Structure 1
Amino acid sequence: MRLRNGLRRVAPAAVGMLALTACGGTEVPDGLIVAKPSAAPAHPYSGPLKARTPEQADEDSPLEGGGAALLALECAGRPHDAGSVADEGSGDDGAGSAAEALARQAADGLDDMPDRGYRVETRTGHRVLYSYDVAGRTRAAVIVAEDRRGWSAETYASCDPSEFRARERARLSILVWQDARGRPVSTAKVVSWMGAEHCDWQSAEFVTLDGGDDGRWRGRQYLRDPEGKLADIDGLSSTYAKDVKLPADAVDTGYRQDGRELWLARDKSWAYVRDADGAVERWPGRKEPVGCM
């Protein structure tokens, strides 16, 4: 899905207009902004830096509030996430430069977006578009804006994390799986992550299959729980177990992650994960996702 449009032309920004290091302000980490991208964009963005969110993102969509950042994306698949930083609320003073505003947003967390490798794609008036590109196409975008308080992030949007480079995928809080040929698989099909520390679930791992990319749950979740932190959760198909035998009728999903293979019981009630040494674990399944508040 390619969201770029042919709206009015704005002048590309000169990278030299923005300082890559802060003086007496927020530190801009090395690598956050790339001064000389390895590949020029195939189609430089020519749209506005402030716009309404495209109509396909309704109120319940994970893309709600993405605005112009969504328009800047060039995804191979559907956009993954987007939003308005202003909607999330911030009473802080702005940063001293656009680069510092991007650094602040990266430090606060860009959800499942790259935390480095951005370039200045466009600057117009009091806004700057930072793009994270793969093969010359924008896979993540952050727009920062200047007002009386200074510079701050305004909107952001990203393609599915499977479209990022491997070195950026490895730095995400989620785990992107691959298919049997080593190609990254969309997180709408499979994704996993470690449990939240504030719920004392950091020893647990959650994997979701077929969660979709429209914010409407229709998938199934499986839980790795070696310390029994989730044993009391209702709706689990069984219990976690290690060193089990892979059933003869288990179905190989074809999904792989760091040498692990993901298999399912014939009725999909639980998952089996086999590691590179051949050891197999049984992960209980659940029809509804487990939440941590």
Structure 2
Amino acid sequence: MLAGLALVLTACGTPASPAAPTATPTSRPYAGPLWVAPDPALHLEDDPGAAGRVVTCDQPVLGGSVAEPFSIGGEVRESPDAALREARDEGQWSGYDDDGMREVRREPDRALYTYESGGRVLQAVVVRHGRVLPGRGAGADGIAWWVESSARCDVVEYRDGLAESYGSEVWTDAAGHRISSQVVTSSTSDGDCLADGTRVLYLGNGDEGRRAYLRNTADYPKNVGEPFQADVPLPADAVDSGYRHGEERLWFAPDRRRAYVGGPDRVELWPLETEVLGCA
């Protein structure tokens, strides 16, 4: 995911000497505080804290924070680098391309790591050297390094193909602009959790709730109100969502209990999930 170099080419007249590669410009270094007071309107696990001020996202920032003293699951470490790796391994923060994370600022009790692409900071992590509750791996003084706040942009803001490599299918509007995965996304199971080939369309997220629609429902008849249908005419009252995935278009029934995926003449009927699917 490291940003590539752009080559300047000339196509007319006398061949010119190759221009020197131009590096993608980097963002202005963050000079703000590495700790900010929690947002009272958010749960701490949904509050990106100081890390949220570092990233430059088009979509709403995703992230969370941990209060001192450190008391959540997982271990703490003796260095900020090790603490960053431990937190990722324990699933305490979600990001992409760990090898691309770089320490860009160090203070006595905090370190800032960022990942940049295309001249923007897409993810940031603040690692804290602070108090730890007993039993979490700190030394005798009860002080160690641990992730205090983390933030990242929506997966659709990263390079082409990254979302798909993580199993997330990116939808766009009619003009080809990517839609946030927090608004609409879909995925096809590789058999690790759901039955192999099961495809699920997700609408919405967070406090507004998330609706899911299933394709290939034969393995989950109790989780939907009706079976999937592979080839039906598009109903006259279907509501166009405006969303696209390649050649696929998406409509909904007026009551939102059905999704229609396909073309304007023939579509697949994906029923609404009525009982939440989960891994065994």
How does the TM-score come out when normalised to structure 1? 0.67
Equivalent residue for 2:50, pick from 52, 56, 68: 68
Q: Which runs of 5+ in 1 are unaligned?
A: 1-30
Aligned equivalent of 1:156: 150
Give how far 1:74 is off: 2.6
Give how far 1:69 is off: 1.6
Give how far 1:77 is off: 3.4
Query: In terms of Rg, which structure is larger?
Result: 2
Q: Residue 170 of structure 1 aligns to a residue in which SS?
A: helix
How many angstroms apart in 1 are the aligned matches of 2:148 and 2:259? 41
1:237-275 CA-to-partner distances (Å, cap 9, x unmatched) read 421122333334433322122443222234432112228
Q: CA, structure 1 residues 51+126, in 2 after alignment: closer, same or farther (shift >3 Å)? A: same
- Whether the 8 Å contact between 1:237 and 1:270 is mirrored in structure 2 is no
* 2:38 is aligned with 1:53: yes
1:55-102 CA-to-partner distances (Å, cap 9, x unmatched) read 342x3x7624x33222323332322332439554113x626561x443
Aligned equivalent of 1:189: 183
Q: CA, structure 1 residues 205+171, in 2 after alignment: closer, same or farther (shift >3 Å)? A: same
Give how far 1:126 is off: 4.1
Where in structure 2 are the equivalents of 1:130-279 lying within 5 Å? 130-146=113-129, 151-194=145-188, 200-209=194-203, 211-212=204-205, 215-224=206-215, 226=216, 228-233=218-223, 236-274=224-262
Amino acid at match of 1:205: R
Q: Which moved more, 1:135-144 or 1:81-90?
A: 81-90
Give how far 1:130 is off: 1.6
Amino acid at match of 1:283: W
Give how far 1:281 is off: 2.1
Give how far 1:41 is off: 1.1
Amino acid at match of 1:250: A
Q: Which runs of 5+ in 2 are unaligned?
A: 5-22, 131-137
Percent of aligned pairs with the same residue? 30
How many angstroms apart in 2 are the aligned matches of 1:200 and 1:219? 18
- Whether the 8 Å contact between 1:220 and 1:285 is mirrored in structure 2 is yes
Q: CA, structure 1 residues 258+132, in 2 after alignment: closer, same or farther (shift >3 Å)? A: farther
Give how far 1:125 is off: 2.0
Amino acid at match of 2:276: V
Q: CA, structure 1 residues 83+282, in 2 after alignment: closer, same or farther (shift >3 Å)? A: farther
How does the TM-score come out when normalised to structure 2? 0.70
How many angstroms apart in 2 are the aligned matches of 1:154 and 1:200? 33
The count of residues paired between Structure 1 and Structure 2 equals: 248
- Whether the 8 Å contact between 1:114 and 1:169 is mirrored in structure 2 is no
Give how far 1:196 is off: 9.0
- Whether the 8 Å contact between 1:63 and 1:157 is mirrored in structure 2 is no
How many angstroms apart in 1 are the aligned matches of 2:238 and 2:150? 41
How many angstroms apart in 1 are the aligned matches of 2:104 and 2:161? 22
Equivalent residue for 1:41, pick from 27, 52, 59: 27
Q: CA, structure 1 residues 279+87, in 2 after alignment: closer, same or farther (shift >3 Å)? A: farther
* 2:74 is aligned with 1:90: yes
